[in-house]
Chain A
Amino acid sequence: MMNPHTRRAARTLAWASLAGIAALSTPRAASAVELTFWTNLTTASQANVIQKQINECAPQQQGLTVKFETVPFGAMYTRLITALRGGEAPNIMNTIEGAVAFMQAKNGLEPVTDLVDRLGAKDFTASYLHAVSKDGQVWGLPDWALHQEVWYRKDLFAKAGLKLPRSWDELLQAAKALTVAGADGKPAQFGFAVPMGRALVAPQTYFQIFYSAGGTIFDPKTGEYMFGEQKPLAEKALAYMIDLYKAASPPASIEWSWSEYRTAFVKGQVAMTNEWGAVVQMAAEQNPDLLSQFDVFPFPGPSAEKKPAASLGGGYYYLIGKSTPEKVAASKTLLQCLYNPKRVAERANSRPIFAIPATNSAFESEVFQSNDTVKRFKPQLEVIFKEVMPTWYRYGMEAGLNPLAGQIEATSFIGDAIQNAALGKIKVDAAIDQMDEQLRFQVEMLTR
């Protein structure tokens, strides 16, 4: 008589044989490909659009499964580092330019130049391709085009009888005019928010000003380090920023991040702010009555005669990780499907005004133009698309991809210099010297 153990062993053997026979007798289907797909867009309304589009596009390739993941931005670099160490970089990533530079420098990306050509290079706004180009190749597909410009209150301008500022000086005057005290002597309204949060925000504010005057860290054509030769310009920009802060910005803004300065604008505490367009959605939620008073103008250059040289921008891109030829091909096919104008527009519409499609076809598409917010802010979008988006840089990436951008963002050496200058702890020229010294050091380390 079989004891329980023997019975169990026999049963296992039987199942195993059946499974084996089943596996052998199934005709080999087209080998199943599984792709891992990461996005930094963790907000449900944005992630769901991407997921939906993946579900539409994946069936086009037989046997394709896509493992979709939202990765919070704070965890992105740690995840990338461990993934690379473990030898399993994700197949498709939807992330911002800093991570593109990081991955490319570590040799973790497949170039997407052929895909860009297939989709039509001319359709993309050139500046977004330039930012992720290196060694003659393009390393990311521009998805969300990000942009910075001055958002201001039409009603407050009208009340003070102000015209749109065309130079730094005019901007400062307007900001001062709009900084008014209330009946109790305490400030009731500030003219211009100058946020200087230590990580990320301080460089974003400073470089907006620096770029408008024609300064860059690297020469956009030759890639040579230029910041050190532009110290007078850099100092002028920093001095202007501090003047603006002292004259027209709430004192606490020295440590403000995005949330704070956007709230300040949306709640009517400041009349103008240098911003990415997120205030629209924020106001729609928190202060809808104010929305009709929002308008934009590009951040001016130092003098009224010349248009601003450039602004600070950014973008969300789609990257393809290095992998087997099979997976790379599958990724490219999937992305090509995700890149028809309707889908590009859909993704941008998940965060309207903040995200603008980086392709002309998507911008002009019915899907994009019929969005309610887009319709409402059409004049502003035209200004942004035509005047701001064509000329922008990301700090460190003026000549194309460079991991310096990620380092500027992830560390605070720029923010520290700026904050200390604003606090009066060091002089403006000392601050610029500090920045230059550190930048040089970093550039040297990276090119070694």
Chain B
Amino acid sequence: MRLAAIGSGGAAPGQRSPRVAARFAAFLPDHKARIGLVFIAPALAFLIVFVAYPVIDVVRLSFHLVDFATDQEKFVGLANFAHVLRDAKLGTVAWNTLVWTVFSLAGQFALGLTAALCINQRLPGMTLIRTVLLLPYVVPVIALALFWRWMLDGSFGIVSAALQAAGTIAPDQSPLAIPEGAMASVILANIWRGFPFVMISYWAALQAIPHEFYEAASVDGAGAWQEFRYVTLPHLVAITKVMLVLRLIWTVTFFDIIWLITRGGPGGATEHWPIWIYQETMGFFRFGSGAALAVLLAGTLMLLSAVYLLATRRSAAR
């Protein structure tokens, strides 16, 4: 009965042969693990060949010095790591990365959740609004960075003009030419760009909350806020957990947008860890150092994710 109401196609239950059902009953305890492996087999193969190899190669490279002219590699142990950890700009870059990440995430999640709650309402016009709110994510980053940069131009940019008129910056000045202004600008661009992803994920999760819960709550006399706190929020915990980890990793490693807007300037004020990696790899062609920086970054992110997931797993009631 239930099966018939769900989906389309497939044999009706009554037509199933009792032999098949018995076979599955016998399968379950012994072969369930094997079946799980079958399901993940294609993905596993893909991961091993295409993902594991490059990653192992990078780790390997971090322990070598690559000669610029001949591309020959020489094992140098931890020398690359020592070199980058002693670099004068380590502190600045780490701090920039932290500021960039924390504010970007805060903005994206706040905006994303708010937007999701709004578009989840079954009100007229929301479909169109939902599409409009998705647009920042769809615009190519390179075009976005360029026109953001242009809107912030000191002489012809509309945003700078507004700031100048308000007296916050000098005439003909651009926020991009001021260290703090540059950081604020790239963060704003990143929030603008990234919140639709959070919005859409929350929206999908909100849609999956069965209506019975809300009906039950309203029968019990719950108000809007209580509904949100006791019905909505708990259902969002799982997706928030995953999204937080993913967005954290994605934001910390996001290179394009800062590079295209400020190149890490002025004076290194917006240079974050990926830009440092880029300079070592594609600027100085010191692949070993670049790999070492990448390994350090990766290690930190993995540690953070592991700690976070372990800590929150205990509270997950499954």
A-side interface residues toward B, CB under 8 Å? 77-78, 84-85, 105-107, 186-187, 190, 196-199, 250-255, 260, 263-264, 267, 269, 403, 407, 410-412, 415-416, 419-420, 423, 425, 442, 445-446, 448
Residues in A with CB closer than 8 Å to B263 are 197-199, 412
Interface size of B in residues (CB-CB distance below 8 Å): 33
Contacting A at CB under 8 A, from B40-65, are: none
Q: Is the CB of B285 within 8 A of A198?
A: no
Q: Is the CB of B172 within 8 A of A410?
A: no
**In the complex with contacts A255-B176, A407-B284, A260-B267 CB distance below 8 A:** no
Contacting A at CB under 8 A, from B158-181, are: 160, 170-174, 176-177, 179
One of A107, A187, A254, A263 near B156 (C-beta < 8 A): A263
Residues in B with CB closer than 8 Å to A446 are 68
One of A78, A107, A403, A423 near B266 (C-beta < 8 A): A423
Q: Is the CB of B68 within 8 A of A445?
A: yes
**In the complex with contacts A252-B155, A410-B283, A419-B69 CB distance below 8 A:** no
Q: Is the CB of B153 within 8 A of A255?
A: no
Residues in B with CB closer than 8 Å to A190 are 172
- Judged by DSSP, the binding face of A is helix
If A84-B71, A410-B284, A442-B284 are given as contacts, then 12 extra A-B residue pairs at C-beta distance below 8 Å, sorted by A number, are A77-B282, A85-B71, A251-B173, A254-B177, A255-B266, A269-B155, A407-B285, A410-B279, A419-B267, A420-B267, A423-B266, A423-B267
Interface centre among B67, B70, B154, B279 (most CB of A within 10 A): B154
B268 lies within 8 A of chain A by Cβ: yes
B196 lies within 8 A of chain A by Cβ: no
Residues in A with CB closer than 8 Å to B179 are 423
Contacting A at CB under 8 A, from B262-318, are: 262-268, 271, 279, 282-286
Complex: A84 Cα to B176 Cα, angstroms: 37
Residues in B with CB closer than 8 Å to A85 are 71
B198 lies within 8 A of chain A by Cβ: no
Complex: A437 Cα to B175 Cα, angstroms: 31
B182 lies within 8 A of chain A by Cβ: yes
B-side interface residues toward A, CB under 8 Å? 67-71, 153-156, 160, 170-174, 176-177, 179, 182, 262-268, 271, 279, 282-286
Q: Is the CB of B69 within 8 A of A105?
A: yes
Residue of B nearest to A441 (CB): B284
Residues in B with CB closer than 8 Å to A263 are 155-156
Complex: A149 Cα to B282 Cα, angstroms: 30
One of B69, B170, B282 near A107 (C-beta < 8 A): B69
**In the complex with contacts A250-B172, A251-B170, A252-B177, A260-B153 CB distance below 8 A:** yes
- Judged by DSSP, the binding face of B is loop
Some 12 contacts from A to B, beta carbons below 8 A apart, are: A107-B70, A198-B262, A198-B266, A255-B265, A410-B283, A412-B265, A412-B283, A419-B268, A423-B267, A442-B284, A445-B68, A445-B284
Q: Is the CB of A106 within 8 A of B284?
A: no
Q: Is the CB of B264 within 8 A of A187?
A: no
Residue of B nearest to A408 (CB): B283
Q: Is the CB of A411 within 8 A of B279?
A: yes
**Least distance between B295 CB and chain A CB atoms (Å):** 20
One of B71, B177, B284 near A251 (C-beta < 8 A): B177
One of A77, A78, A105 near B68 (C-beta < 8 A): A105
Residues in B with CB closer than 8 Å to A251 are 154, 170, 172-173, 177
**In the complex with contacts A198-B264, A410-B282, A419-B267, A255-B177 CB distance below 8 A:** yes
One of A106, A198, A425 near B69 (C-beta < 8 A): A106
Residue of B nearest to A181 (CB): B171
Residues in B with CB closer than 8 Å to A84 are 71
Residues in A with CB closer than 8 Å to B70 are 106-107
Nearest 9 CB-CB pairings of A with B = A252-B154, A411-B283, A198-B265, A252-B174, A410-B283, A419-B267, A420-B267, A186-B171, A250-B172
Q: Is the CB of B176 within 8 A of A252?
A: yes
Interface centre among A78, A252, A264 (most CB of B within 10 A): A252
Residues in B with CB closer than 8 Å to A445 are 68, 284, 286
Residues in B with CB closer than 8 Å to A107 are 69-70
Residue of A nearest to B164 (CB): A186
Q: Is the CB of B282 within 8 A of A416?
A: no
Complex: A105 Cα to B67 Cα, angstroms: 11
Residues in A with CB closer than 8 Å to B286 are 445
**Least distance between A180 CB and chain B CB atoms (Å):** 13
Complex: A442 Cα to B268 Cα, angstroms: 19
Residues in B with CB closer than 8 Å to A187 are 171-172
